[in-house]
Amino acid sequence: MELPASGPKRIALLLLAVAYVLAGVGHFVAPEFYLAMMPDYLPWHLGLVYLSGVFEVVGGVAVLVPRVRSLAGWGLIALLVAVFPANLNMALHPEDFPDFEPWQLWARLPFQLVFIAWAWWATRPDDG
């Protein structure tokens, strides 16, 4: 596994990998939190929670593999877009998340763009 030469990109890539593997494992360790996020209109809630967990773990590991790094980055971006409705559902139903203030649930939403930018930048080939 060859990591990027630049310090900031190397750190961003390693943190990306660790964050997604840990988040993915969380889907299996505490699925009830993720189940509460699921919009009613989606079917197969538990299956989707587990599936997104698998994709997070696989994506987190795959960003460390140079041959598939770019594809893994795009996969994580697609995953972030796919799970946005669940994050929006949290903000729309704060009563289901008493551990969070409503403003915190809304404040989370723009961070999806930050996470998309992070996944994109960290998985781009080095310029030099």
For 105, the token pair is 């649930």
Query: Is 115 inside any structural domain?
Result: yes
Asked if residue 59 lies in contact with residue 53, where contact means CB atoms within 8 angstroms, the answer is: no
For 92, the token pair is 């729309």
Query: Is 127 inside any structural domain?
Result: no
> How far is the C-alpha of 115 from the C-alpha of 109, rounded, in Å?
10
* 48 Cβ contact list (under 8 Å, min separation 6): 38, 42
DSSP per residue over 20-57, as a string? HHHHHHHHHH-HHHHHHHS-TTSS-HHHHHHHHHHHHH
Per-residue pLDDT of the chain (128 residues; tens, 9 = 90+): 666 656 899 999 999 999 999 999 999 999 999 999 999 999 999 999 999 999 999 999 999 999 999 999 999 999 999 999 999 999 999 999 999 999 999 999 999 999 999 999 999 987 54
Query: Is 88 inside any structural domain?
Result: yes
For 83, the token pair is 């799970």
Query: Is 128 inside any structural domain?
Result: no
Asked if residue 42 lies in contact with residue 18, where contact means CB atoms within 8 angstroms, the answer is: no
The count of structural domains within the chain is 1
Query: What is the pTM for the complete model shown?
Result: 0.90
For 49, the token pair is 């929670």
User: Domain span at residue 118?
Assistant: 7-122
Span between the terminal Cα atoms of the chain, in Å: 18
Query: Is 2 inside any structural domain?
Result: no
| pLDDT at site 128 | 46
